[in-house]
């Protein structure tokens, strides 16, 4: 946008005066942040408003991305960057003597998501606007985001994240006039009407008022503003009488109160099912109403509307779309079904069987009686359609209702025209294994869309030093055209340049070290290798394998204090789902090993272990630029894609990885010499499953290193963790090490030794790092979303 610094300063002072009746030098950082956010909203209000009108008036096909999670983190800098005024504002703040970073830090991290899935949804919102595509988000305005993690005596404690405070979210705009009603519970009877169709009659339903809050999604320097719509629940005025007690009201308000802190396995909770339906129903009713404003026939709705189901949580979009078309607008089943399948598409984010969402029929029927009827009908028609054409077993495995459970992935696949995985390997495994039965029926529905990241946030915003360095070498064009990063390869043998990148990394490490010192009281040496694993805590992600190696190093140094090794700092950040016992025990042990190691002077600072509490997007922005080694060590075949792996590489960290998820594509991008791969591949893992021949106890008994390391959990070396240590010992030895840590251990140790050796060769290491940065452009979410736009949604973009 066109703006001079002087004009901005006038606008900003004005805004502060009006919002808070203060002068700039008397204002608090929070007031400055709020005023700046208000000002941004003012700057974009015209394109934001016009965008909605244009799309309705011009008959442009629009994609609606439904996700139960959106994880944008802080939005101030992204918004300023995308408006093209980040530098100007920073500069202006210097002129008026305000520390810009303090203003940035006054913003709360918007954490309406658990991890990768939610972050990806937020990234796609930015990318949709950036490629100028008509793509809007639909989600839930949770009052409490993902819990805040505190560590007390080494244990994870969960605290509520009341991110909305008393004044709400500065970026949102409430739209009470666009509220709609959503019905749950009650009984439904179908009566035949004059046209021979059935009309539902609801007896005693609970009626909810869904109120939207809109958040602008600003495209990168292109004038486009899309919308993210988050729904909040209220009690409709007409129903007020029914909810006299606080208790009664709370039952309703609870619906949008909390984000389920569950990142993989699924706990059936009726509240969650209501959340899913609430969001989907409110969103789809609105979409259909808006479509009707074009004056077009409802049976052609698929020509202007695409609905995306991000993981199965919004899968009720399929029966709800059918319900609205049939019950509210009288479309016949066949036409409604034809449109539904063309409108819907679905992304799968996991192959862990326990994470595939299923609902108990009785619960489902009670909460969503009409939707249950429709799902039943979809299921019977499906079975009828495929019977005789496919073996009975395949039909049984793919139908929606089986063993008194509703299988949400099956509903999403049958009810849509596209199902995609999130990395090549992941899609291959869906096709060959997890969803193979479906693949035989609908091969044409399957496609891959490898995840991507908002490269601007993970370079320009979180790593300004590196970004300036890149500018010096290849100019600034890469900031808007990420593929130009490739030009950095020209400097791969330029020692001066390599040294400069090394120094940039060191500066970032010092910044992180200062944070660690301040928050944890632990002193870190910026010349040590910063070896980082940050992600949700889950057995398959194998933080425990990392810990086993740390314990090995501990014994190596204890045995031989003169051992020649580059000092190493292991950094962890990870939240565990509150009910996930094993994951919480791993956190406890990481912290106790940290205590053991950090307080042992005989290790002479060769080894440090840090667990940074409350890992979130904001903390990631500090940690990732300061990392030398990116730990991506999941059991092959288990991590659908990973996205932090992409963020690390773009910040010049070397990936230490198994051949899993997008690690494989990172390897393809950088070449075998610029990544460190270890461990079993997927075939080898599957081989164990087939042959049932894995024997963890044997490895433990026969390999003295493994033996000693595993025994450390139960021999009293690690203090204050007897029961957790035993639990981990049992998981590895008595329960046969489900994720093959012991089998991969040696190869991991060797890979770590190799890292140690090459780090000594500063030039070689820096070459690897630069190669990673130069080849990170292919993981831009802008490119990923272009493929969604072209190959799944058929929507236009710039
Ligand atoms: C992640 N999934 C994948 N799930 O694990 C990761 N699950 O490999 C991938 O890169 C990422 O999705 C993006 O595709 C998740 O993050 C959840 O958070 C989740 C939340 C609720 C229920 C189940």
Pocket test for ligand 1, best of 71, 263, 313 (most atoms within 8 A of CB): 263
82 close to 76: Cβ distance less than 8 angstroms: no
Whether 769 is covered by a domain: the verdict is yes
Q: Which atom of ligand 1 is nearest to the CA of 69?
A: 20
Residues 165 and 285 in one domain: yes
Instruction: Note the pLDDT tens digit of each residue in 206-240.
Output: 999 999 999 999 999 999 999 999 999 999 999 98
Residues 435-442 have a mean pLDDT of 98
Question: What is the distance in A from the centroid of ligand 1 to the CA of 787?
Answer: 20
Checking DSSP bridges between strand 358-360 and strand 405-407, what pairing results, if any? antiparallel
455 lines ligand 1 (CB under 6 A): no
Separation CA 132–CA 798 (nearest Å): 5
Q: At which residue do the structure tokens 């919102």 appear?
A: 125
Which pLDDT belongs to residue 406?
Answer: 98
661 lines ligand 1 (CB under 6 A): yes
Whether 34 is covered by a domain: the verdict is yes
Backbone φ, ψ for residue 774 (5° rounding): -60, -30
- State how far Cα 790 lies from the chain centre: 23
Separation CA 67–CA 112 (nearest Å): 10
In the DSSP assignment, the letter for residue 96 is: T
Separation CA 759–CA 780 (nearest Å): 28
309 close to 66: Cβ distance less than 8 angstroms: yes
Question: What is the distance in A from the centroid of ligand 1 to the CA of 350?
Answer: 7
Band the pLDDT of 55: cuts 50, 70, 90.
confident
Query: What are the respective helix, strand and coil percentages of the chain, to the nearest 5?
Result: 55, 15, 30
Which pLDDT belongs to residue 49?
Answer: 87
Six-digit token pair at 183?
């019905």
Residues 404 and 459 in one domain: no
Domains in the chain, number: 3
Whether 396 is covered by a domain: the verdict is yes
Residues 90 and 134 in one domain: no
Which pLDDT belongs to residue 201?
Answer: 95
Which pLDDT belongs to residue 56?
Answer: 67
pLDDT surpassing 80 at residue 53: no
Whether 33 is covered by a domain: the verdict is yes
- State how far Cα 336 lies from the chain centre: 32
451 lines ligand 1 (CB under 6 A): yes
646 lines ligand 1 (CB under 6 A): no
Instruction: Note the pLDDT tens digit of each residue in 569-591.
Output: 999 999 999 999 999 999 999 99
Checking DSSP bridges between strand 206-218 and strand 180-184, what pairing results, if any? antiparallel
Comparing CA positions, the residue from 75, 162, 149, 142 lying closest to residue 534 is 149
Comparing CA positions, the residue from 465, 449, 422 lying closest to residue 652 is 465
120 lines ligand 1 (CB under 6 A): yes
Instruction: Note the pLDDT tens digit of each residue in 5-16.
Output: 999 999 999 999
Instruction: Note the pLDDT tens digit of each residue in 257-305.
Output: 999 988 767 777 899 999 999 999 999 999 999 999 999 999 899 999 9
Residues 610 and 465 in one domain: yes
Whether 745 is covered by a domain: the verdict is yes
347 lines ligand 1 (CB under 6 A): no
Question: What is the distance in A from the centroid of ligand 1 to the CA of 262?
Answer: 10
Separation CA 497–CA 471 (nearest Å): 12
List all residues 6 or more positions away from 740 whose beta carbon is below 8 Å from its beta carbon. 635, 680, 685, 688, 694
335 close to 299: Cβ distance less than 8 angstroms: yes
- The residues assigned a catalytic role are 349, 535-536, 541, 643, 647
Backbone φ, ψ for residue 154 (5° rounding): 85, -10
Instruction: Note the pLDDT tens digit of each residue in 128-184.
Output: 999 999 999 999 999 999 999 999 999 999 999 999 988 899 999 999 999 999 999
Sheet containing strand 629-632, edge to edge, reads: 607-611, 568-573, 529-534, 629-632, 654-657, 676-677
Residues 88-97 have a mean pLDDT of 98
Instruction: Note the pLDDT tens digit of each residue in 308-362.
Output: 999 999 999 999 999 999 999 999 999 999 999 999 999 999 989 888 999 999 9
531 lines ligand 1 (CB under 6 A): no
Band the pLDDT of 560: cuts 50, 70, 90.
very high
Question: What is the distance in A from the centroid of ligand 1 to the CA of 451?
Answer: 11
Instruction: Note the pLDDT tens digit of each residue in 386-407.
Output: 999 999 999 999 999 999 999 9
Residues 282 and 421 in one domain: yes
Q: Which atom of ligand 1 is nearest to the CA of 426?
A: 8
H-run or E-run covering 431: none
640 lines ligand 1 (CB under 6 A): yes
Residues 710 and 601 in one domain: yes
Band the pLDDT of 195: cuts 50, 70, 90.
confident
Residues 571 and 669 in one domain: yes
Provide the percentage of residues in the chain whose pLDDT is more than 90: 94
Separation CA 208–CA 206 (nearest Å): 7
DSSP-assigned letters across all residues of 33-44: HHHHHHHHHHHH
Q: Which atom of ligand 1 is nearest to the CA of 347?
A: 14
275 lines ligand 1 (CB under 6 A): no
Residues 526 and 538 in one domain: yes
pLDDT surpassing 70 at residue 245: yes
The answer to whether the Cα torsion of 235, 237, 241, 244 is positive or negative is positive
Which pLDDT belongs to residue 58?
Answer: 81
Nearest CA owner, ligand 1 atom 12: 117
DSSP-assigned letters across all residues of 186-245: SEEEEEE-TTS-EEEEEESPEEEEEEEEEEEEE-TTSS-EEEEEEEEEE--GGGGGG--S
Residues 688-702 have a mean pLDDT of 98
Mean pLDDT of the chain: 97
Question: What is the distance in A from the centroid of ligand 1 to the CA of 263?
Answer: 6
Whether 798 is covered by a domain: the verdict is no
Pocket test for ligand 1, best of 262, 279, 349 (most atoms within 8 A of CB): 349
DSSP-assigned letters across all residues of 617-635: HHHHHHHGGG-SEEEE-PP
642 lines ligand 1 (CB under 6 A): yes
Residues 435 and 486 in one domain: no
Helix, strand or coil, per DSSP, at residue 531: strand
pLDDT surpassing 90 at residue 634: yes
Comparing CA positions, the residue from 479, 562, 568 lying closest to residue 527 is 568
Residues 511 and 369 in one domain: no
Reduced 3-state DSSP string for 257-326: CECCCCCCCCCCCHHHHHHHHHHHHHHHHHHHHHHHCCCCCHHHHHHCEEEEEECCCCCCHHHHHHHHHH
pLDDT surpassing 90 at residue 81: yes
Whether 514 is covered by a domain: the verdict is yes
Backbone φ, ψ for residue 74 (5° rounding): -75, 150
Q: At which residue do the structure tokens 């994951």 appear?
A: 583
Question: What is the distance in A from the centroid of ligand 1 to the CA of 645?
Answer: 14
| β-strand partners of 198 | 192
Residues 287 and 158 in one domain: yes
| Residue range(s) defining the domain that contains residue 47 | 1-58+76-107
| β-strand partners of 309 | 66, 346
212 close to 227: Cβ distance less than 8 angstroms: no
CB count within 10 Å of CB 355 equals 18
Beta strand extents in 501-561 (DSSP E only): 529-534
Six-digit token pair at 572?
């962890």
ipTM of the complex: 0.98
Give 541 or 351, the one with higher predicted confidence: 541
Separation CA 729–CA 320 (nearest Å): 48
DSSP-assigned letters across all residues of 324-339: IIIIIT---HHHHHHH
Residues 92 and 146 in one domain: no
Provide the percentage of residues in the chain whose pLDDT is more than 70: 99
Whether 474 is covered by a domain: the verdict is yes
Q: What is the CATH number of the domain that holds 676?
A: 3.40.50.2000
154 lines ligand 1 (CB under 6 A): no
pLDDT surpassing 80 at residue 749: yes
Which pLDDT belongs to residue 13?
Answer: 98
Question: What is the distance in A from the centroid of ligand 1 to the CA of 311?
Answer: 8
Six-digit token pair at 134?
């008509």
Residues 237-244 have a mean pLDDT of 90
- Rg of the chain in Å (alpha carbons): 27
C-alpha distances in Å from residue 286, one per residue of 54, 279, 425, 788: 17, 11, 37, 23
Question: What is the distance in A from the centroid of ligand 1 to the CA of 577?
Answer: 13
Six-digit token pair at 667?
């390897």
């Amino acid at each position: 946008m066109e703006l001079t610094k002087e004009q901005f300063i006038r606008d900003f002072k004005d805004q502060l005066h009006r919002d808070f009746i203060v002068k700039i030098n008397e204002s608090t950082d929070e007031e400055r942040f709020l005023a700046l956010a208000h000002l941004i909203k003012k700057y974009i209000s015209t394109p934001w408003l016009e965008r909605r009108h244009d799309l309705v008036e011009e008959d442009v096909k629009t994609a609606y991305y439904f996700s139960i999670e959106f994880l944008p983190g802080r939005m101030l800098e992204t918004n300023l960057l995308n408006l093209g005024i980040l530098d100007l504002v920073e500069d202006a703040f210097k002129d008026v003597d305000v520390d810009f970073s303090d203003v940035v830090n006054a913003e709360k991290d918007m954490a309406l998501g658990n991890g990768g899935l939610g972050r990806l949804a937020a990234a796609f919102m930015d990318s949709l606007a950036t490629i100028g595509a008509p793509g809007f988000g639909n989600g839930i305005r949770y009052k409490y985001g993902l819990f805040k993690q505190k560590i007390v005596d080494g244990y994870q404690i969960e605290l509520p994240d009341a991110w909305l405070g008393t004044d709400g979210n500065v970026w949102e705009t409430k739209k009470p006039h666009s509220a709609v009603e959503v019905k749950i519970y009650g009984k439904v009877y179908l009566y035949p009407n004059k046209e021979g169709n059935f009309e539902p009659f609801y007896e005693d339903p609970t009626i909810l008022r869904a109120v939207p809050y809109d958040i602008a999604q600003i495209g990168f320097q292109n004038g486009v503003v899309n919308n993210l719509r988050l729904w909040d629940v209220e009690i409709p005025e007409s129903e007020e009488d029914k909810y006299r007690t606080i208790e009664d009201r709370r039952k309703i308000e609870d619906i949008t109160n909390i984000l389920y802190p569950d990142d993989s396995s699924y706990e059936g909770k009726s509240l969650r099912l209501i959340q899913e339906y609430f969001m989907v129903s409110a969103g789809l009713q609105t979409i259909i109403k808006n479509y009707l404003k074009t004056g077009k026939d409802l049976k052609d709705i698929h020509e202007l509307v695409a609905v995306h189901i991000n993981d199965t949580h919004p899968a009720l979009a399929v029966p709800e779309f059918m319900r609205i078309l049939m019950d509210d607008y009288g479309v016949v089943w066949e036409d409604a079904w034809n449109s539904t399948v063309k409108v819907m598409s679905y992304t799968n984010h996991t192959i862990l069987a326990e994470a595939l969402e299923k609902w108990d029929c009785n619960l489902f029927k009670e909460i969503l009686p009409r939707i249950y009827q429709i799902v039943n009908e979809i299921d019977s028609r499906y079975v009828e359609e495929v019977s005789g054409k496919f073996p009975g077993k395949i039909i049984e495995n793919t139908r929606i209702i089986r063993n008194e459970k509703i299988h949400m992935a099956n509903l999403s696949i049958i009810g849509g025209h596209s199902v995609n995985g999130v990395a090549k390997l992941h899609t291959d495994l869906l096709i060959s294994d997890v969803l193979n039965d479906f693949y035989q029926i609908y091969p044409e529905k399957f496609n891959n869309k490898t995840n991507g990241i908002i490269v601007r946030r993970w370079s320009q915003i979180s790593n300004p030093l590196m970004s300036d360095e890149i500018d010096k070498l290849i100019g600034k064009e890469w900031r808007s055209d990420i593929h130009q990063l490739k030009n950095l390869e020209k400097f791969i043998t330029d020692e001066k340049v390599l040294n400069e990148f090394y120094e940039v990394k060191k500066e970032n490490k010092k910044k992180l070290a200062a944070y660690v010192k301040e928050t944890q009281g632990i002193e870190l040496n910026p010349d040590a290798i910063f070896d980082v694993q940050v992600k949700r805590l889950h057995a398959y992600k194998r933080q425990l394998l990392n810990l086993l190696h740390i314990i090995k190093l501990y014994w190596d140094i204890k045995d031989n204090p003169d051992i020649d090794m580059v000092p190493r700092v292991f950094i962890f950040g990870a939240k565990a789902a509150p009910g996930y016992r094993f994951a919480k025990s791993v956190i406890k042990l990481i912290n106790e090993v940290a205590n053991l190691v950090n307080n042992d002077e005989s290790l002479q600072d060769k080894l440090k272990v840090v667990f940074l509490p409350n890992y979130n997007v904001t903390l990631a922005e500090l940690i990732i630029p300061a990392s030398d080694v990116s730990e991506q060590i999941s059991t092959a075949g288990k991590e659908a894609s990973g996205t932090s792996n992409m963020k690390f590489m773009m910040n010049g960290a070397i990936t230490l990885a198994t051949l899993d998820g997008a690690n494989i594509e990172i390897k393809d991008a950088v070449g075998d010499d610029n990544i460190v791969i270890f461990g079993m591949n997927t075939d080898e893992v599957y081989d164990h499953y087939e042959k049932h021949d894995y024997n963890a106890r044997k490895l433990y008994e026969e390999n003295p290193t493994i033996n000693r390391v595993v025994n450390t959990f139960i021999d009293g070396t690690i203090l204050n963790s007897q029961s957790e240590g035993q639990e981990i010992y049992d998981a590895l030895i008595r329960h046969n090490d489900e994720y093959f840590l012991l089998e991969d251990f040696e190869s991991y140790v060797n890979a770590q030794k190799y890292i140690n050796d090459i780090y000594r060769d500063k030039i070689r290491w820096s070459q690897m790092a630069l190669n990673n940065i130069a080849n990170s452009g292919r993981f831009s979410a802008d490119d990923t979303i272009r493929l969604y736009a072209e190959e799944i949604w058929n929507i236009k973009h710039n």
